[in-house]
Structure 1
Amino acid sequence: MQAEYKILIKTDALIRMITHVLKFGNEALDENVEVMGLCIGQIDETNNQILLHNIHPVQHGSIGFTREDIELFNQLNKDYQEKGMKLVGWYTSRPGWGLDFTDITIQNHKLFQTAKNPQGFIIIFDHTLMGKENGFGFEIYSLKDFNISNEIREVSYEIEVPDSLHFFKWVQKFMEDSQKVSPVIIAELKEQNARELQEIPLPEEDRVEVKVKDYSDQVDIMAGIHNGSLKLSEIIGETYQNQLNTWVSDMTQGSLKGTELIRGSLNQLKIAVSDGLKNVQIFFNTTFAEISGLFKKNITEYINSRVAGVKELKNEISTILEEIIEESKKRIDKNIQSNFTLINEVTKSLRTRFENTTALNSKMTSMVTQLSSIVSEAESEVKNIKSNI
């Protein structure tokens, strides 16, 4: 069985995975589909830790791997090894299906957890669970011993806390991309690059009609991004939530009014984030401190309950042992007493037989003496008869 490793998820990797998942899974879409991507990082064998630095979105739709896919993964892994990193695992989404590590997914996972990468892991997302009991809507799994069984285990992880404006710059780019007629948001390795085609200029009167149609489509796009952003803001925390909701609302209106209002709302967001960054850091530190304290409290209560249970079990075992020993003593004493009685009876019987044998010997001795006397008398009579003749 392999040693258990803890995964440290960098902020960049987390937000890129969430972006990929929400692009193809949100409430505004007619159909939510699965996504799949690769996890790039480093393995710290000294501290039994895996550092997840980056991810590569690969595809969406039905998740299955061809020979060309495997060759692509191997080449990507080789390129990263030259930079001191490697392919450490993969991620996928199961929109609305839960976070179960299914048999089919396990078979696909065995392409990533191998003898060359025994710590390989999988991150399973379900965007419908974001903000609920599982706050980020994902779990991480691996196989306990991929060589002999499909027994799974959950992998512990830690998420790096954002400590700069980089997170908010990502939100800004996320929303800017969503304003395009064909939004990229995040590109996949296997995605066709149809967006590079140039549009043909239209006459002025036609251009107005097309703009109205494009803006209508854009409202649907913004509705999807708005819902996805709301999900994300619930996860990050209450401090982010107010700022993101206000900003997304401004952006939705801005997509109808013009790019100038959009740019203005972005600038306002930057100012608000800059002024409130310290409060955000305090919020995260306080939240993690509370979670850590609650975790320690629960662990302490669990250990105390286990200790009390062990003591109670020890007392029960001692009582049972004493009862068994006492019962065994009674049975042994009973058996010994029974055996002594039997021995006494046999001894008595032998004594009686011995006494009878002694009496019989006395009688036989007396009879032998009498016979000897009779024989002697008979011999005397025979001699007398001979002499008279």
Structure 2
Amino acid sequence: MSQSRPNLFGPAAVLLIAMGIVAPLASANAAGPSQVAVHRRETWPDAIDSSGAFDRRSRAEELVFARALAESENLTVPELKAQLDVDVVDMPSVERVRRRLWRILAANYAIAIEGCGISGVFCPVNTEAQDLRNAALALSESSVDERYRPWLYDAIKFHKIYLRELLRLAALFPRVSSEIDVYNDRELQGWELADRQFVLTFDDGPSEVMGSGADTTIQLIEWLRRSGINGIFFVLGERMRARAQTTSVRTLDDLYAGMCVGSHGWSHYPHTTWPQWQESVVRSLALVGATVPNSRVALFRPPYGQRLPGSGVFFAAQNLKVVLWNIDSQDWQSGLTPAEIERRVFALMLLWRRGVILFHDTDAKARVVMVDLIKRPAVDFIKWLDCRRVAAETR
């Protein structure tokens, strides 16, 4: 979950919501942008049932996002302020993030076109078109086969909105820190993983004990275990303590068996303005170690992704790494259905081809999204990384 932020698109929001391209904010106190990019329906005409089909859709997503990124570079600072609805734009931050996105996209595109033939769909038609920027700017409805045009129309809007989510975070960084950038090499975003590798992470738990049928943490972990998948659970100290008092330490240890448990702090406060933020980290990790010693990992995720620029010294002294994310499911937003969240996550997995995915186990939608996501044939061509391997490789 990210910090509560003002309206992202201003007067245009009503029109975009009506068009079904963005979703309204859950509430005035909710975190994250005012609207987020979603696909309202499936428009891709091909089955993604082979490695080649995965790459075809992947390079298509990369081309559309790259087009939006290239077009955004023509915006003036006043235009950026208006479009992102911010008072101040940190242009060095925006430019740094843009450069990194271009590097990532170029590397992904090079992988996705490896199997291209002369007549391959969304493949370069000549040497010049192998350059991602040129290929992206040449992309238009008239340049693609008619059967892909409904998808292209929707994808252009999706990626424009998604890029604005990212640029808004960049415009506010470092004044408002977030997952958009790192302060040091002990902070992980997800770009560090190999192609087609993904890590599942879940924040804000454990859920409250509210009877059988309403315990979202139990439901999610049991499903993950049956599916042969695990994930990193970044728990809040106060919630874990309350749960241990309601059930027992042994029950919690059994619950998280086979999973990884890191700290999300003691309470869900920004660790940039909370005077007791260091105590929050130390205290929550001590509780995790005492409660679920077999599942504890030396990983910390700051609430809202917010941490102080110089906090790396403290985390290094604690032998901790900060785990951020590069795929935000936005599952906490009440205005989004599980199907919309699943389509968003899937599109971003195809775009970035690797990453740390953010969910919340306190929301029942996380499990529903995962159930639908894993049913896709395309998921056969990615790898869910074992959380213990991730934790071991980050030491």
Which is helix-richer, 1 or 2? 1
Bigger relative contact order (CA 8 A; separation at least 6): 2
TM-score by length of 1: 0.23
Higher Cα Rg: structure 1 or 2?
Answer: 1
